[in-house]
Amino acid sequence: MEKYINEFKQMVEIRGLADSTLSSYTRYLKEYLSYVDKHLKKDANQVTWPEIRDYILYLKNSRKLNPRTINPHISQLRFFYLYILHKPWDHYQVPWLKFDTYLPFVLSQEETLYFINTLENLKHKAIISLLYSSGLRVSEVCNLKYSDINRSKMTVYIRRSKNRSDRYAELSENALGILTEYWFAYGKPKDWLFPSPHNNGRPIVKRTVLRFIKDHVERLGWESRISCHTMRHNLGTHLYENGADLLAIKDALGHKCLSSTAVYVHLGSHKRRSITNPFDMKVRDE
């Protein structure tokens, strides 16, 4: 097993995949190799297509994983077979699982501002303000450096975003005010903008942000569906409700494809109300 794991890690590094992908793919591969060793009693190089499908059904029926979670397992298996075992991968033998798509949960503009304004911790308030006003992903805000904030151009520099490209996000005046207040109160950090309180020299981690959002949701007695990404969805929805077109929202959120931005058409309740259904229009007498 170790031979496969080491080769796998090396190839993932050569391919330049993200650290999070390396971590999850390696964990999935260990689970697969353990299954092969325990249940099939053979080397991974000898596993047949029906046996791979049995493994996918094991994940679905025995481990009760949902399709969204199983598909990354399939991606890992594809990578393993192509790059480590040097075998062709047939997606007709092991297809992707279909899954239901749901609209993300969003807050109103008033609720979002109330959520931010009621945060007592200034560091937490600065982080959430950037998540919302600049539409940042939690990994992006965690890895911000002091030099990434450009006060003269009112921009936030994002390096190596999710689509593997650098970009600039808009810096809100209100967010800059909160950020400046935080910066002076927390010792004027010059390297990581939000350093970890427990790991000197490292930035705050996503888990910490998730925890203090959850804690604040509980204090307010709100729905538990609010997450870091809710703030990003809030921005996209509120921009659309305020009249921004999809191309402007795509640019603001750093989406690679316009299809990712189109969800805010469905979430923008104000725009839906402003359009009259043709069936409700008065018929003119000819």
- Residues 68 and 159 occupy one common structural domain: no
Contacts of residue 257, defined as CB under 8 A and 6 or more positions apart, other chains included, come to none
Establish whether 255 is a catalytic residue. Answer: yes
As for how many domains the chain has, the answer is 2
Residue 46 lies in a domain: yes
Q: Which two tokens stand for residue 31?
A: 């689970």
- Catalytic residue chosen out of the listed positions 28, 81, 182, 264: 264
Contact 194, 201 (CB under 8 A): no
Give the end of a domain, one of 49, 67, 83. 83
Answer yes or no: is 248 within a domain.
Answer: yes
Q: For the segment 189-209, what is each residue's pLDDT rounded down to a tens digit?
A: 999 999 998 777 899 999 999
**Spatial separation of the C-alpha atoms in residues 126 and 143, rounded to whole Å:** 14
**For residues 244-263, b (16+ Cβ closer than 10 Å) or e, as one string?**
bebeebbebbbbeeeeebeb
Q: Do 146 and 54 belong together in one domain?
A: no
State yes or no: is 137 an active-site residue: yes
Q: Both 269 and 129 in a single domain?
A: yes
124 and 245 belong to one structural domain: yes
Same domain? 185 vs 63: no
Indicate which residue of 15, 87, 159, 162 is catalytic.
162
How many other C-beta atoms are found inside a 10 Å radius of the C-beta of residue 168?
Answer: 16
Catalytic choice (124, 137, 233, 238): 137
13 and 155 share a domain?
no
Same domain, 123 and 222: yes
SS3 letters across 165-223 = CCEEEECCHHHHHHHHHHHHHCCCCCCECCECCCCCCCECCHHHHHHHHHHHHHHHCCC
Task: Print pLDDT tens along the chain (286 aa).
Answer: 888 999 998 998 888 877 778 888 999 999 999 999 999 999 999 999 999 999 999 999 999 999 999 999 999 999 999 999 999 999 999 999 998 877 888 899 999 999 999 999 999 999 999 999 999 999 999 999 999 999 999 999 998 766 667 889 999 999 999 999 999 999 999 999 999 987 778 999 999 999 999 999 999 999 888 988 999 999 999 998 888 888 888 888 888 888 888 888 777 765 555 566 666 666 544 4
CATH of the domain at 142: 1.10.443.10
Q: What is the CATH number for 35?
A: 1.10.150.130
Q: What is the pLDDT of residues 71-83, one digit of tens each?
A: 999 999 999 999 9
Identify the CA nearest to 164 among candidates 68, 282, 20: 20
Same domain, 121 and 78: no
Query: 229 an active-site residue?
Result: yes
* 79 and 117 part of one domain: no
Catalytic residue among 229, 256, 266, 272: 229
84 CB neighbour count, 10 Å cutoff: 19
Domain boundary (65, 83, 101) is at: 83
User: Is the domain of 120 the same as that of 205?
Assistant: yes
User: What is the C-alpha to C-alpha distance for residues 101 and 103, in angstroms, rounded to an integer?
Assistant: 7
Does one domain contain both 116 and 78?
no
261 and 124 in one domain? yes
Q: What is the pLDDT of residue 69?
A: 93
Q: Is 124 a catalytic residue?
A: no
Give me the catalytic one of 73, 124, 216, 232. Answer: 232
Residues spanned by the domain of 33: 2-83
Residue 278 belongs to a domain: no
